[in-house]
């Protein structure tokens, strides 16, 4: 197999690795969002020439209506990152009424690279099946955690007992990518078509302290919040395929939750609340921070839901609970101004977890209805300007935790409880017909769902557990029988000497 050639661009103290999509300064990698990298690369590859604004807008945001202010913001961030002095003319020059020109001398070089390795992904069909147990079993981790509590069952014929040890609940980030991500259809245009029969699963973190995760809209990087020492939380950013994470928000006493990324991939929105306000009576505060870090900007208070952004990043929507009502609000995404209530209800169980559609024409949410025979969950939508509400998924006795649009707007990824096992799983709901299919079909506890490109990121909850066999009254001297991260409710011996657990 012939070796591949890598192309590099060098200017000043900086170097661009085109293949790896990395910008370094004197050998140290710099953090750029994918859109910022694309902006810089386009200017550098056309160094010495004017790149019109129209061309920049078309190549950076193809087939998408985006205001020119997004391009201006990208150029401003790049100049700051490059330390551009002299009014911003040392690297990137503004050509009035035309566009921009990269004016620094650029040296282009090539280096032979390693042989091209094509990763072969196993094509696995997820089979839907009925499960008649209420047990909760997670994947084996191979870990052997310390024992927190012990329960015993005696098997009289061998006078042996079983010991089960549980450790602290662990949460890690997991990514689910469908087959078309690495095997796109030749006729596909844009995002590949989702298929629940072709998925691959990859663990992203192993720290065990991840509270939740969110993908960037283009699926190039993800953010996650962690539980730190002394009841503090922090916010991290990491590019997919990299092991290095950047801390955007250092550990804070406020609880960080509800993370969103702007479609420009330049801004991160999150909600932070007082940890003592467990019921979110006062709600949280929306903050906005650059993907490059810096000081978060406070936008608005008394927020009781995730923040969802319009496709052009000009508006945001969220819930606000009042003593007697729930308001679905749309506001300016840059500063939180111009709040407008587009729908309200006397119940706090409506308009939950709002999600703006990819085409900008509707906002999806779920409702909870309490009836004599229990609670029912349903999906519905409303226009961003308000008006009539349309049902997407009829009420049913299946708890909905989270949901989000697929990138093409033709479906919804839903995190909902499996009625058979009681474990939250991932589902795909076709839009607009509401046909529902399973994405996952196991005993794992999935917490949340975020879509970016052709991938889904979710948090995986695990509880490490060990089972030992030991002689009666000789606990602590037994032989390990099972090590893993299973949610086990009970264990017993069969007359044939086999172990049964659920």
3-state secondary structure 313-362: CCEEEEEEEECCEEEEEEEECCCCCCCEEEEEECCCCCCEEEEECCCCCC
Domain edges within the chain: 3-115, 304-394
- The confidence score (pLDDT) of residue 350 equals 93
- Residue 492 forms beta bridges with which residues? 500
User: Which has the higher per-residue pLDDT, 2 or 373?
Assistant: 373
User: Which has the higher per-residue pLDDT, 484 or 339?
Assistant: 339
- Using a 10 angstrom Cβ sphere, with 0-12 exposed, 13-18 middle and 19 or more buried, the burial of residue 159 is exposed
pLDDT over 70 percentage in the chain: 75
CA angle 289, 291, 297 (to 5 degrees): 5
Q: What is the pLDDT of residues 421-438, one digit of tens each?
A: 888 999 999 999 999 999
Catalogue the E-assigned strands of 431-475.
436-438, 445-452, 455-462, 465-471
User: Which has the higher per-residue pLDDT, 475 or 137?
Assistant: 475
Asked if residues 454 and 474 have their Cβ atoms less than 8 Å apart, the reply is: no
The CA distance from 234 to 260, in Å, is 15
Q: Is the whole model's pTM more than 0.75, yes or no?
A: no
Residue 242 has pLDDT above 60, yes or no: yes
Residue 64: closest CA among 223, 243, 246, 218: 218
The CA distance from 192 to 184, in Å, is 6
What is the DSSP track for 22-49?
EEEETTEEE---HHHHHHHHHHHHTTTS
Average pLDDT of the chain, as a whole number:
78
Residues in contact with 105: Cβ distance below 8 Å, sequence separation at least 6, in sequence order: 11, 47
Maximum Cα interatomic distance, the chain, rounded to a whole number of Å: 90
Residue 414 has pLDDT above 80, yes or no: yes
Q: What is the pLDDT of residues 121-170, one digit of tens each?
A: 222 222 222 222 233 323 333 333 333 333 333 333 344 454 444 444 55
Comparing 292-301, 410-419, 477-486, which segment has the lowest mean pLDDT?
Answer: 477-486
- The confidence score (pLDDT) of residue 200 equals 72
Class of domain 3-115: mainly alpha
pLDDT tier at 420 (50, 70, 90 boundaries)?
confident
- The confidence score (pLDDT) of residue 455 equals 85
Asked if residues 427 and 413 have their Cβ atoms less than 8 Å apart, the reply is: yes
Sheet holding 267-273, edge to edge: 255-261, 267-273, 284-290, 293-303
Evaluate the omega torsion of the peptide bond into residue 432 and state whether it is cis, within 30 degrees of 0: yes
Cα–Cα distances in Å, from 251 out to 102, 224, 259, 439, 476? 39, 13, 16, 34, 39
Alpha helices, H only, 235-341: none
Instruction: Please compute the mean of the pLDDT values over residues 388-401 and round it to a whole number.
Output: 95
Residues in contact with 275: Cβ distance below 8 Å, sequence separation at least 6, in sequence order: 231, 253, 254, 255
């Amino acid at each position: 197999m012939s070796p591949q050639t890598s192309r590099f661009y060098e200017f000043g103290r900086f170097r661009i690795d085109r293949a790896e999509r990395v910008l370094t300064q004197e050998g140290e990698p710099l953090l750029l969002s994918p859109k910022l990298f694309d902006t810089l690369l386009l200017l550098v590859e056309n160094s010495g020439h004017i790149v019109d604004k129209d061309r920049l807008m078309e190549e950076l945001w193809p087939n998408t209506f985006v205001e020119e202010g997004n391009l201006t913001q990208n150029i401003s961030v790049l100049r700051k990152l490059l330390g551009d002095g002299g009014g911003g003319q040392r690297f990137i020059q503004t050509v009035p009424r035309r566009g921009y020109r990269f004016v620094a001398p650029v040296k282009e070089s090539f280096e032979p690279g390693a042989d091209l390795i094509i990763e072969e992904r196993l094509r696995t069909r997820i089979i839907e099946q009925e499960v008649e147990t209420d047990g909760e079993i997670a994947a084996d981790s191979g870990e052997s955690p310390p024992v927190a509590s012990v329960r015993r069952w005696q098997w009289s014929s061998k006078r042996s007992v079983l010991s089960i040890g549980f450790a602290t609940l662990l949460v890690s980030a997991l990514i689910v990518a469908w087959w078309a991500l690495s095997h796109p259809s030749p006729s596909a245009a844009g995002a590949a078509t989702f298929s629940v029969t072709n998925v691959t699963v990859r663990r992203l973190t192993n720290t065990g302290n991840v509270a939740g995760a969110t993908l960037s809209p283009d699926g190039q990087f993800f953010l996650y919040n962690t539980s730190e020492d002394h009841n503090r939380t922090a916010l991290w950013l990491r590019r997919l395929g990299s092991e290095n994470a950047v801390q955007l928000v250092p550990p804070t006493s406020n609880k960080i939750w509800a993370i969103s990324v702007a479609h420009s991939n330049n801004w991160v929105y999150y909600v932070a609340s007082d940890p003592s306000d467990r019921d979110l009576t006062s709600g949280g505060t929306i903050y906005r921070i650059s993907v490059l870090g810096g000081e978060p900007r406070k936008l608005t208070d008394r927020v009781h839901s995730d923040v969802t952004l319009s496709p052009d990043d000009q508006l945001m929507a969220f819930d606000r609970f009042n003593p007697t009502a729930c308001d679905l609000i749309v506001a300016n995404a840059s500063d939180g101004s111009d709040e407008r209530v587009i729908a309200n209800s006397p119940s706090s169980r409506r308009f939950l977890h709002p999600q703006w559609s990819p085409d900008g024409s509707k906002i999806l949410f779920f409702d909870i209805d309490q009836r004599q025979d229990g609670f029912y969950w349903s999906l519905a939508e409303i226009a961003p300007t308000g008006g009539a509400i349309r049902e997407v998924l009829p009420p049913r006795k299946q708890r909905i935790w989270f949901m989000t649009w697929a990138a093409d707007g033709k479906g919804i990824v839903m995190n909902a409880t499996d009625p058979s096992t009681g474990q939250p799983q991932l589902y795909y709901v076709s839009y607009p017909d509401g046909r529902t299919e399973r994405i996952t079909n196991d005993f794992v506890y999935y917490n949340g769902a975020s879509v970016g490109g052709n991938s889904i990121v979710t948090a995986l909850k695990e509880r490490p557990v060990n089972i030992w066999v030991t002689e009666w009254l000789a606990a602590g001297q037994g032989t390990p029988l099972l090590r893993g991260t299973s949610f086990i409710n009970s264990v017993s011996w069969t007359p044939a000497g086999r172990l049964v657990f659920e």
